[in-house]
A and B are shown apart, each in its own frame.
Chain A
C-alpha cells in the first residue's frame, strides 16, 4: 500500500483532526481553507510533520468537517445552531451550511422547521420572505429583520408611522411604505439596509413639479428593468400608482386614479412579467367594492383589463378577499372569506367570475378571530391561507394536494414564499413559522 500523500493535520482548539486536501478543496477558494493552502502562502498541506493550529471550537469544526466530507449536515443536540452558524461564517462555509439545511422549494414536501416568537402579541401587518432565506415582519411601526439563520438584525423603527407594506429589493435592502401622519410631512416610502436598518433613501412623489407628502400602500417590483411600484394616497386627492426607477430612485411615472375606480388604496400590486403590466387590486373591506385592473405603462398609460363587483348584488360568498394573477394560465385567481376560489380570464376584459364552491362547510364554525384568506403562487403551485391552515393546490384543475398546519399561534394573517422557504405569520401570538423542504435523500 502506498503512502497517502494528501493527508492534512489540524489542531483545532486543542483537538487533533486529520483529513485530506481533497476534502478541504470542497470548501472552495473563498474559504479559510482555500486561502490557507493557496500556493501564495507557501504552506504545504501535506507536510506530514506540520500540524495546522486553529484557535476555534473543536466540536463545531467536527460538524463542519463532516459536512465537507459527506455534504450532509448533522448537528448533535449539544451544539446550538447559532454557534454553528457563527463558526461556519468564520471558516467561510456559510453557503455550504445553508445549502445543506434545506432543499429546493416544493409546496407538497414542506415541513415545519421552526416557529419564531415575536416580541408583542398579535396584530402583525405583513411578513415578507427575502431572496436568500431571511424574512422581515412588519408590526405597527416596527419591522423586524431575520437572516437565513433566523438571527434577528437591528429592527427598523419608523417612530409612530404605521408600516403598510415591505418588499425586498435584494438580499441586503428593503423598501418600506408607511402612513403619513396628519400635520406632518412624513410617511411615504424609504429604502433601508437590511443588516443595519439604516434609512438609505427616501422616495418622493411630485405632482406638477412639487414634492408632495403621501401615504405609501402596497408595493411591487419589476426585477427585469428595475422599476418600483407603489399605490399612493396624497392629501389633495392625488391618488394613484407611482413608479420609480430603482437605480436612480427618481419617480418616472404616476398613474392617476380615474373617477369611479380605486388605485391609490390598493391592497395588492403584482407585476406581470410576460404581459408587461401591473395588476392593482383594491378589495373589501378597505373599500365597499372590489376593483381589479391591469395597467400598461408603456407609451401611453392605459388600463388594459378591469373587473369590479360594483353594482352587482354581492353576498358574503361573492366578496373577493384576495387576488393573484397567474400568467401561465392567463387568469386571475381570487378567494372569498370561505376560501372558495374563483377564476377570471385575463385575456378578455369584463369576463365573468367562475367560482369553485369548495368549502361552504366552513360557514358557522369560524374561529373567534378570523383572518381573511390570502393567496400566493409559486412555480405552478397555488397557496391559500385560511384560519390556521395553508392549503396547497396543484395541477391544471387546482386540486388540493397538501395542507400546512401548526397548532400554535391562531389564525394566519399573512404568509410569504421566497428563498426556498415559506413564512407564515399568525395573528394571535405574533409568532411566525418557517416551512422548508428537506434536502434530497442520499440514497
Chain B
C-alpha cells in the first residue's frame, strides 16, 4: 500500500439487507387464495388446484405471513356469510328454513374445503398463536353473521315454534328439515342451542300445555285426561328422538309433567265420578296404572295417590267392620275382608307396579280398621273353624295353603293376637274332640304358620293339644288290648286324656252317667292310673259325643249321633216312657242351661225330634213332660242330632273370654317389665311403657294404664322401687 494513498478508516457496515420475501409476493399469494375461497363459495371449485393452494398457504405461514392469511380468511368468510344472510332474509314464508338449511350445508362444505387448503396453518400457526382453529372460526362467524343477525334470529325461532305447534295440532311437518336446522344450532355449540332455542322452546311449550290442560280438564273425565296427558308426553319424547338434542328430553317432559299433572294433581285425583276413588271402586286397572305411571314422574305424585287410597280403604273398611249386618255372620265378615284385601292386592300388582310403599299403605289401613271391631280376632278364628270343619272338603292342598296364607295375613293385622289365640284354642279343642277336623295336615300347617309368625311360645299349647290327641289314641289301643275280650259286648268307650292347661278347660260339673257307662269309665280310670302314676283324671262330660242305636216303637232302627249330655238323657228313656224336666234334671245333674239346650235339640227340631214334649212349644219350661217319639222316622239310618249351640259367643260368654284374656295378660306384662328392668337397671316411666309395648306387640297392644298398674304391683312386691330423687325413675331390685 503506497503511503501516498490517503489513509482511510475501514468501516464495517452492518449487513442491512435482511432477506425479506417480496411483500408483493405475499399479496399475490393471498389473492390466489382469496380467489379460491370465492370460487369455493360460488360452487366453482373444480377449476382449482389443491396442491397449488395448499402450497401457497404453506408458504405464507412459512414466510411469517400467517397473520395476514388468518385475517384475510376472517374477512373473506365474513363477506360471504353476510351475502348468504341477505339471501336467507329475502326468502319468503315457507322457503325460509329451506334456504337457511341449504346455505348452511353450502357453508359447511366450503368450510371443510377451506380448512383443507389451510391445513398447515391450522396445525402450526394457530396453536402457537392461540387463535381459533379454522373449523370453529367458520362456525362462530356463521353464528354471528347469520343466526344472530337481527332479521334472522327471531324469525328463525318463530318459524320453528310455528312448525312445532302445527305438529302438536296434528299436522305433518318436514321433520328432516327440522332435524337439520336444530342440528345446526347444536353444531354451533351447546350454549347456542340452549340459549337461542331450548329455553324459549320450553317457555312456549309450558304456555301451550297450561292452556291445553285447562281445556282438557273442562271437557274430559279423569281417565280420558290421563290418556291425553300420556299421549302428549309420548309425543314430546318422540319429538326429541326425531329432531332435538337427547338432553332436552328430560327438560321438555318435565314441562309437560308440571303443566299437565303436577299443577292439577288434586283436581284429578278428586275429580267427581271419575277420580281415583271411582277407579278403585270399579277396578279400572288400566286407568289406575296410567295414573300411577304419570304421577310417579312428579314430586309428591305418588304420595297423593297413596293418601287418597289409604283414606278410601280406611273408610270403606270401617263401614265394613262396624256394619252390624255383616257381624251377624262371622264367615261372611271374614270373607268380605279377604275379598277387599284381594281386590287391593290385585290393584297394587296390576296397576301400581307392586310398589312397596303402596303395599305398606294397604297393610296399615287394614291394621287400622280391622282392630276397630274388637270381635275381629274371634271372627277370624271362627272363619278358620268353618273352613277346617267342612269348608275345605274336596279342596286341593295348594288351595288350602292359599286360604290359610290369606288368613295369616289378616292375623298379622290383629293387635290382640292373644285374643285370637284364646278363641282359636277353644275352636280347635271343639274340632279335635268332636273329630270334626277335615284335614290334620291343614291344621298342622296353620300351627306352623302361627309359630313362624309369633314364635314357639304362642303355639306350644296348641301343639300340646295335638300331642294329647295322639297319646289318647295310643292309650285307647292299650286299654282295648288289655280288656278287649271282656268288654266286647258292652258299649265302646273312647277317652281323650287332656292335659290341664293346654286345653280351654271349663270348670263344669260332671253329670251322672248311665250305669253301663259309669262302670266302663271306672275301668278306664283304674287302667290309666295303673299305667301313669301321680295323675288325676276328671271327666269333662260336657265335651263328649256318643253314637246310640235306638229302636222306636214302630220297629224302626236308627243310629243316633248325639252329645254325651243327650246320651245321658236318652238312656233314661230305656227305663221310663215319660219323664218330666225335673226328673231328668235330677237324674242327670246336667246344668240347667245345658240341659235346656240339649232337650231343645232332642224335642223341638223338626225331623230330628226323637222325643216328644208336652206341651208342644219351642222353649223348654221347668214343668214340661217328655216321652219317646214313637212316630219318629227319617230317610237316613244314621241321624245326627246337633246341639243347639250358639256359634258366635253370647254376650256373657264374650265378657268371660275378655276377662280371661285380661287376666292372662297381667303376668305377661309383668314378665316384660321385669325383663326390661333387669337389663336396664334404671329407667323412667315413659321409656318402660314404650319398651313394654314394643316387646308385647307381637301378642297384643298393651294398655298403658294396665302397664302402670302392673308396675305398681311389682313395686309392692319389691321387684322395683321408685327413685328417691326423681319419682319418675324406677330402679330394679335384684
Contacts and interface: CB of A to CB of B under 8 A. Distances in A.
A9 to B, nearest CB: 13
Contacts of B129: 196
Contacts of A55: 51, 55
A41 B127 contact: no
B51 A92 contact: no
Interface stretch (B19-27, B116-124, B249-257, B459-467): B116-124
A42 B50 CA distance: 10
A90 B120 contact: yes
Interface stretch (A32-40, A65-73, A98-106, A354-362): A32-40
Nearest to A31: B119
A38 B51 contact: no
Interface string A169-189: 000100000000000000000
A237 interface: no
Contacts of B119: 30-32, 35, 92
Interface in A34-66: 35-36, 38, 40-43, 52-55
B640 interface: no
Interface in B608-663: none
Nearest to A41: B50
B128 A41 contact: no
Nearest to B54: A32
A251 interface: no
A196 B120 CA distance: 18
A89 interface: yes
A82 B396 CA distance: 94
Contact of B113 (A41, A53, A172, A196): A41
Contacts of A52: 51
A52 B49 CA distance: 10
B109 interface: yes
Contacts of B51: 36, 52-55
B46 A42 contact: yes
Contact of B123 (A43, A92, A196): A92
A195 interface: yes
Contact of A38 (B54, B116, B123, B130): B116
A31 B45 CA distance: 20
B128 A35 contact: no
Interface string B451-480: 000000000000000000000000000000
B112 A38 contact: yes
Contacts of B368: none
B128 A36 contact: no
Nearest to B112: A40
B130 to A, nearest CB: 8
Contacts of A53: 51
Nearest to B130: A193
Nearest to A29: B116
B149 to A, nearest CB: 27
B58 interface: yes
Interface in B121-158: 123-124, 127-130
A199 to B, nearest CB: 14
Given A35-B116, A40-B109, A40-B113, A89 B50 contact: no
B372 to A, nearest CB: 55
Contacts of B54: 32, 35-36
A89 B54 CA distance: 13
Interface string A185-211: 000000001011000000000000000
Contacts of B130: 193
A41 B124 contact: no
Contacts of B117: 35
A41 B45 contact: yes
A144 to B, nearest CB: 17
B517 to A, nearest CB: 90
Given A35-B54, A55-B55, A90-B58, A40 B120 contact: no
Contact of A43 (B50, B109, B120, B124): B50
Contacts of B120: 89-90, 92
Nearest to B48: A41
Residue from A32, A36, A172, A193 with most neighbouring chain B CB atoms (10 Å): A32
A43 to B, nearest CB: 7
Contacts of B50: 35-36, 41, 43
Nearest to B51: A54
A35 B130 CA distance: 24
A40 B116 contact: yes
Nearest to A153: B128
A172 B45 contact: no
Nearest to A43: B50
A40 B124 contact: no
Given A32-B119, A40-B45, A55-B55, A89 B109 contact: no
B127 A172 contact: yes
Contacts of A54: 51
Contacts of A31: 119
B45 A196 contact: no
Contacts of A196: 128-129
A196 B130 CA distance: 11
Contacts of A172: 127-128
Contacts of A42: 45-46
Contact of A193 (B58, B109, B116, B128): B128
A368 to B, nearest CB: 43
Residue from A35, A43, A193 with most neighbouring chain B CB atoms (10 Å): A35
Contacts of B124: 89
Nearest to B129: A196
Interface string A8-36: 00000000000000000000001110011
Contacts of A90: 58, 120
A52 B50 CA distance: 10
B615 to A, nearest CB: 101
Contacts of A195: 127-128
A323 to B, nearest CB: 36
B124 to A, nearest CB: 7
Interface in A210-232: none
A15 to B, nearest CB: 15
A35 B118 CA distance: 10
Contacts of A32: 54, 119
A35 B57 CA distance: 14
Residue from A52, A54, A90 with most neighbouring chain B CB atoms (10 Å): A90
Interface string B46-67: 1010110011001000000000
A30 B133 CA distance: 13
Contacts of B45: 40-42
A82 to B, nearest CB: 15
Contacts of A43: 50
Interface string B324-362: 000000000000000000000000000000000000000
Contacts of B55: 55
A195 B50 CA distance: 29
Interface string A360-374: 000000000000000
A53 B116 CA distance: 17
A75 B336 CA distance: 95
A94 to B, nearest CB: 8
Contacts of A40: 45, 109, 112-113, 116
Contacts of B127: 172, 195
Contacts of A89: 120, 123-124
A54 B46 CA distance: 18
23 contacts: A30-B119, A31-B119, A36-B51, A40-B45, A40-B112, A40-B113, A41-B113, A41-B116, A42-B45, A42-B46, A43-B50, A53-B51, A54-B51, A55-B55, A89-B120, A89-B123, A89-B124, A90-B58, A92-B123, A172-B127, A195-B127, A195-B128, A196-B128
Q: Which 7 A-B pairs have the closest CB atoms?
A: A35-B116, A195-B128, A40-B113, A36-B50, A41-B50, A42-B46, A54-B51
Given A32-B119, A35-B50, A36-B116, 20 more contacts: A30-B123, A31-B119, A35-B116, A36-B50, A36-B54, A38-B116, A40-B45, A40-B109, A40-B112, A40-B116, A42-B45, A42-B46, A55-B55, A89-B124, A92-B123, A172-B127, A193-B128, A195-B127, A196-B128, A196-B129
